[in-house]
Structure 1
Amino acid sequence: MRILIAEDDLTSRTILSAVVKKWGYVPVAVTDGEAAWEAMQKEDAPQLALLDWNMPGLNGLEVCGKLREIDTADPPYIIFLTSRSEKDSVVEGLEAGANDYVIKPHDNAELLARVRVGQRMLEMQAAMNAAKKSLTHEAMHDPLTRILNRRAILDFLQKELSRAMRHGSLLSIGMIDLDYFKRVNDRYGHQTGDDVLCGLVRTIQENLRDYDLVGRYGGEEFLVVAPCSSGGEDDELYERLRAGIAGQGIATRSGVVSITVSIGVVGTTGSRSMDDLLADADSALYRAKKSGRNCVVHAEKV
């Protein structure tokens, strides 16, 4: 772990750097508050800071306050290491955002214990952030296919509709339904059916562009959100998807299973509500099913 040592006194800074290094940490020593602030802005910024109060430029209290103004999930652990022993100073330092306050002259064993407390707090913070990130990912993704779930893809669609309206750009929505999926489940079983769904998603992703997104809308239905520069561009996109799926069997535990999809498409510049657009895409999909499946139908042609 990297530890910032912000101390303007050369002797104190040198001794403290040597002690911190002996403890097994990496000292990052600076001579004033401005340098301390700059060090904490870097990509490899120290996770823990030992701040003197009285320094040239920014003092320790000001550095602490600026660090606490940063909105981050990984704030540094800050320990004031200062000769200011007045009760009011201790209170002021802690209220500025410091996690701990050590008065000079300090005992190295006590300081090490406090640094280790800080390290444990940082490790707990990192573990909580990782758990939160994992829970957020799980809340947004379909557990089988690992793509966005219905709620997440609809949230993304709403944001893209707002963006399309602001910029006057074209957005296409494709509703994809796996043809005769019930027959797959009846013939091969639901585990093979799951293999087919996962394989279908991989094929869809292989045929999408980097800025397109697909989510599981429900059951064997998937929703594609794709920015387009023209109506002809979305024609090419969804026909490529349809042909790519029809021309490529899905490897499953029961062998290779051939599938096709029907696709309903609607284009918009964001001027209509999401519910209306989804209803149009669903109507186009219904028309595709009625037209024999394995085809793409656009809402404007319904």
Structure 2
Amino acid sequence: MTKILAIDDTPYNLDILKNGLEDEGFAVVTAESGRKGLELIDRESPELVLLDIGMPEMDGHQVLQQIRLSDEHGDLPVIILTANTEDSNLARCLESGANDYVTKPFSFTALVARINNVLRTQKDTRQLNRDVEKLRDLAYRDEMTGLLNRRAFFERANAEFEISKSSGEPLAIAILDIDHFKIINDTFGHAAGDEVLSAFGKLLKSCLRLHDIVGRIGGEEFAVCLPNSQAMHAYNIFERLRTTLAKQQLLTNDDGTTHQVTVSVGVVGLTDQKELDNLMILADMALYRAKNQGRNRTIVETGVTN
């Protein structure tokens, strides 16, 4: 049952609204002042507000302004009830953020029609916003792992890079590459390789803080930006990740034996580099050294202040 809050300083008007709307199947709560109405919005969480404009102390425009400024109830549908039919007044109601208005005196048939129309529009708008969020998420997420894709990683990491440059706070960048991934695909099949990527993505995410930025930037290559972190702190994180991964049994041979999955990691701390791309190159150099030294290891780029 849809709950409606009616705010009006005249008890007689509230009684008419309550009785008439309850006959139409709505649940109705009432408030005789703007301040009481704002309290009931927090307490009762109505799905729509009927708001009288001409009230003492706090008029309808002021109440509506408070609703629109609310983080929790900012999109709450509001229909203004007003006896002032001047165009300037009706225009002000809409400019203040009202979803619709009804002029007094009104018929309940017209009022109910406007209520249902506003509720339907609000429902459609919220569904559209959810769909847009899903599309935006798909555009920024790697489908295989659920991590950020390459574009999204660089956008967010670059923002953190600029903050660290201006604030002087430390920052660390890491590039990770699953070792011998082609052999995994060739031996166990691409489906198994996909499962390894997915499992590794989850493990990587679980080792990081909520505000760390992590993405899949290539086939079996991942990148992490760790704000407010020294390079050696990042080294310790990825060493724990690396040893944990090496102990997990992600792949099993036909004879029942397991195939170890390992990762190589290159880490670099914030330097005097002017661009994030240059810092990524340094991390990639450390990764290259890790692979040349036998893989399954974490290397911090030398010559960088930790």
Q: Same fold (TM over 0.5)?
A: yes
Q: Which amino acid aligns with 1:4?
A: L
Q: SS state of the match for residue 302, structure 2?
A: helix
Q: CA deviation at 1:235?
A: 2.4
Q: SS state of the match for residue 222, structure 2?
A: strand
* Counterparts in 2 of 1:301 and 1:288: CA distance versus 1, 3 Å: farther
Q: CA deviation at 1:163?
A: 3.2
1:1-302 to structure 2, matched below 5 A, reads 1-40=2-41, 42=42, 45-65=45-65, 67-68=67-68, 75-227=75-227, 229-250=229-250, 257-268=259-270, 272-300=274-302
Q: Distance in 1 between matches of 2:190 and 2:139?
A: 24
Does the CA-based 8 Å contact 2:175-2:221 persist in structure 1?
yes
Q: CA deviation at 1:246?
A: 1.4
Q: SS state of the match for residue 51, structure 1?
A: strand
Does the CA-based 8 Å contact 1:262-1:289 persist in structure 2?
yes
* Counterparts in 2 of 1:227 and 1:192: CA distance versus 1, 3 Å: same
* Counterparts in 2 of 1:15 and 1:103: CA distance versus 1, 3 Å: same
Q: What TM-score, normalized by structure 2, do the two folds share?
A: 0.86
Q: Which amino acid aligns with 1:268?
A: L
Q: Distance in 2 between matches of 1:242 and 1:99?
A: 55
Q: CA deviation at 1:29?
A: 1.8
Q: Distance in 1 between matches of 2:242 and 2:195?
A: 19
Q: Deviations over 1:241-294 (max 9, x none)?
A: 111111212158988542111111101168642011001011111111111111
Does the CA-based 8 Å contact 1:169-1:269 persist in structure 2?
no
Does the CA-based 8 Å contact 1:171-1:270 persist in structure 2?
no
Does the CA-based 8 Å contact 1:73-1:129 persist in structure 2?
no
* Counterparts in 2 of 1:51 and 1:139: CA distance versus 1, 3 Å: same
Q: CA deviation at 1:18?
A: 3.3
Q: SS state of the match for residue 218, structure 1?
A: coil
Q: Which amino acid aligns with 1:199?
A: A
Aligned residues: 301
Q: Deviations over 1:72-126 (max 9, x none)?
A: 9962322122222344433443343333221222211221111110110110011
Q: Which amino acid aligns with 1:261?
A: V
* Counterparts in 2 of 1:253 and 1:43: CA distance versus 1, 3 Å: farther
Does the CA-based 8 Å contact 1:30-1:36 persist in structure 2?
yes
Gaps of 5+ in 1: none
Q: SS state of the match for residue 300, structure 1?
A: coil
Q: Distance in 2 between matches of 1:44 and 1:135?
A: 33
* Counterparts in 2 of 1:21 and 1:258: CA distance versus 1, 3 Å: farther
* Counterparts in 2 of 1:249 and 1:130: CA distance versus 1, 3 Å: same
Select between 126-135 and 222-231 the one with higher mean Cα deviation. Answer: 222-231
Q: Which amino acid aligns with 2:12?
A: T
Q: Which amino acid aligns with 1:51?
A: L
Does the CA-based 8 Å contact 1:178-1:220 persist in structure 2?
yes
Identity %: 36
Select between 140-149 and 44-53 the one with higher mean Cα deviation. Answer: 44-53
* Counterparts in 2 of 1:251 and 1:199: CA distance versus 1, 3 Å: farther
Q: Distance in 1 between matches of 2:114 and 2:7?
A: 17
* Counterparts in 2 of 1:44 and 1:125: CA distance versus 1, 3 Å: farther
Q: CA deviation at 1:231?
A: 4.1
Q: Distance in 2 between matches of 1:171 and 1:231?
A: 7
Does the CA-based 8 Å contact 1:65-1:96 persist in structure 2?
yes
Q: Deviations over 1:42-79 (max 9, x none)?
A: 38643422111210122223433554566899623221
